[in-house]
Chains A and B, each alone.
Chain A
């Protein structure tokens, strides 16, 4: 294993992670909700009266975050090389998988592990290992992008 010292950004990652953790803590303490993006978005597809507006508001906050960031500093590079067919397949899998698995990187990975939920710890291990295995196959076995 070789560490990518060129792209390694521990401080930015740590500070950004702490902001994400702050958001997760505040959403539970203020609104009593888990900051799991797939759960919040998925809930919009099964609308429950009185539980829709806050979901839209949260998603709207995510959507405007690049614009707000851009007011203070130039937006860091967002490099997305995948082609459209791959993006569509990946999007379908991410959407379906996150709902069947009852959570994604935020709901299980941040909130669930913070609550020491055995379900979330297992789910996080599973999707990280599967993600690593997928990248291994695509990059080193198939030799693609």
Chain B
């Protein structure tokens, strides 16, 4: 049951990305290019998304389990560390270079565009680099300078 809903929610998410313009890299550039002719549309995506999601989270927080009786995996991390800062800056750099973030990457790949598929593969590789670094760290102790 939860597998079907996951698919449905992914579909709704993707339709939202398409309708909002987030799935169009040219539109994302229009938003990020504040020194050019600025297109503030994507700020409205954030307003609509946060507006609705915050209602959902408001109700979710008052529950002990999901509607299907599953545990609620609310993020517990509270501390602002170097990983968060460095990671978010690297992410912003990549986002600014291509105008694609992970959700839209999947949608663009789903249109069958080869460029979308290539971006997704590179993104998976970037994620795999993170996983390998984490494994290495777990094995050899906290030597990486990325972790506080």
Chain A residue numbers with a CB within 8 Å of B125 are 91-92, 95
Interface of A is mostly: helix
Query: How many A-B pairs fall under 8 Å by CB?
Result: 501
Report A1-51 residues with CB < 8 Å from chain B CB.
1-4, 7-10, 12-35, 37-38, 41-42, 45-46
Distance in angstroms between the alpha carbons of A33 and B70 in the assembled complex? 9
CA distance A81 to B25 in the complex (A): 8
Taking a contact as CB atoms under 8 Å apart, the answer to whether A135 and B33 are in contact is yes
Shortest CB-to-CB span from A14 to chain B, Å, is 4
Contacts A8-B40, A127-B95; A101 near B86 (Cβ below 8 A): yes
Task: Provide the main secondary structure of the chain B interface.
Answer: helix
Complex: A125 Cα to B55 Cα, angstroms: 22
B115 contacts partner chain A, Cβ-Cβ < 8 Å = yes
Name the interface residues of A76-103: CB closer than 8 Å to any CB of B. Answer: 76-82, 84, 86-102
Which of these, B48, B61, B71, B80, contacts A15 with CB under 8 Å? B48
CB-CB under 8 A from B101, the residues of chain A are: 37, 94, 98, 104-106
7 example contacts (A-B, Cβ-Cβ < 8 A) are as follows A2-B38, A4-B37, A23-B10, A62-B107, A68-B11, A80-B113, A97-B87
